[in-house]
């Protein structure tokens, strides 16, 4: 049924809708602040205080589909499987940023979220401001991309968040640990990374996050 125009809604219905949206925005905003300020444990890496450096990227070549191979779990992507990002360069120079994934299992419907990213001038295409919703923006740093644009590493300035993306949904262990080593050299606590299942048979495997599973580090090998 088509949505009732605002002008025809009752005052009580309009107020309830506005309050619900305000609560949603405040809740997500508070979660972002907690993630950035107090949600991350102390980083034991001796290079933890070394500032991250972005790399230049060829934006048209960088666009397209990227699978989320691993990340540091946080509220927005926790319990998602089969996650991927799809980027499209707009005529105005901004980027349409689409996230797809299945919350709580492969048998669940695919969710889709869309954001708009702005490339920071002078960054060589390596620093983006991602608009989650007005007026909330976050910084996304491109920390590494291989010469063939098959893999990329993304980060957050305080190293509380990080992602490994690949053009293919499956990554061999050797490549995965090689990319984790790059994060380690940048000062990340790589024990916090968890692989994101892209196939159902990866659920429950060592090093992989699973919906509903405690994803805190257990003290084992870095990145498992």
Query: Tell me, what's the pLDDT at 3?
Result: 40
177 phi and psi angles, rounded to 5 deg: -70, -30
The mean per-residue pLDDT over the stretch 210-219 comes to 70
pLDDT tens per residue, range 66-93: 999 999 999 999 999 999 999 999 999 9
The mean per-residue pLDDT over the stretch 8-30 comes to 41
Give SS3 for 192.
helix
The mean per-residue pLDDT over the stretch 193-207 comes to 97
Burial (Cβ within 10 Å: 0-12, 13-18, ≥19) of residue 159: buried
Residue 32 pLDDT level (bands cut at 50, 70, 90): very low
What's the mean pLDDT when you consider all of the chain? 84
Query: Tell me, what's the pLDDT at 214?
Result: 73
Query: Which residues have CB under 8 Å from 9's CB, separation 6+?
Result: 17
d(CA 92, CA 164) in angstroms, rounded, equals: 28
pLDDT tens per residue, range 114-136: 999 999 999 999 999 998 766 77
Query: Tell me, what's the pLDDT at 41?
Result: 83
d(CA 224, CA 221) in angstroms, rounded, equals: 5
Looking at the predicted structure, is the pLDDT value of residue 54 above 50? Answer: yes
Residue 133 tokens read as 């919703």
Of the listed ranges 31-35, 42-46, 114-118, the least confidently predicted one is 31-35
Query: Tell me, what's the pLDDT at 20?
Result: 38
The mean per-residue pLDDT over the stretch 141-156 comes to 98
DSSP state of 177: H
């Amino acid at each position: 049924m088509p949505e009732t125009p605002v002008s025809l809604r009752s005052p009580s219905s309009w107020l309830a809708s506005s309050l619900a949206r305000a609560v949603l925005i405040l809740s997500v905003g508070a979660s972002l602040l907690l993630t950035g300020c107090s949600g991350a444990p102390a980083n034991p890496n001796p290079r933890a205080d070394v500032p991250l450096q972005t790399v230049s990227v060829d934006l048209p070549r960088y666009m397209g589909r990227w699978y989320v191979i691993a990340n540091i779990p946080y509220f927005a992507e926790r319990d998602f499987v089969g996650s991927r990002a799809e980027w499209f360069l707009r005529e105005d120079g901004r980027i349409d940023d689409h996230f797809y994934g299945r919350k709580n299992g492969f048998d669940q419907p695919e969710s889709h979220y869309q954001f708009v990213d702005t490339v920071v001038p002078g960054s060589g295409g390596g620093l983006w401001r991602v608009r989650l919703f007005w007026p909330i923006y976050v910084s996304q740093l491109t920390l590494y991309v291989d010469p063939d644009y098959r893999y990329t590493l993304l980060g957050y300035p305080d190293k509380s968040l990080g992602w490994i993306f690949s053009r293919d949904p499956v990554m061999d262990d050797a490549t995965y640990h090689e990319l984790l080593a790059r994060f380690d050299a940048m000062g990340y606590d790589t024990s916090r990374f968890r692989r994101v299942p892209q196939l159902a048979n990866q659920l429950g495997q060592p090093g992989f996050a699973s919906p509903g599973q405690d994803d805190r580090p257990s003290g084992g090998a870095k990145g498992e």
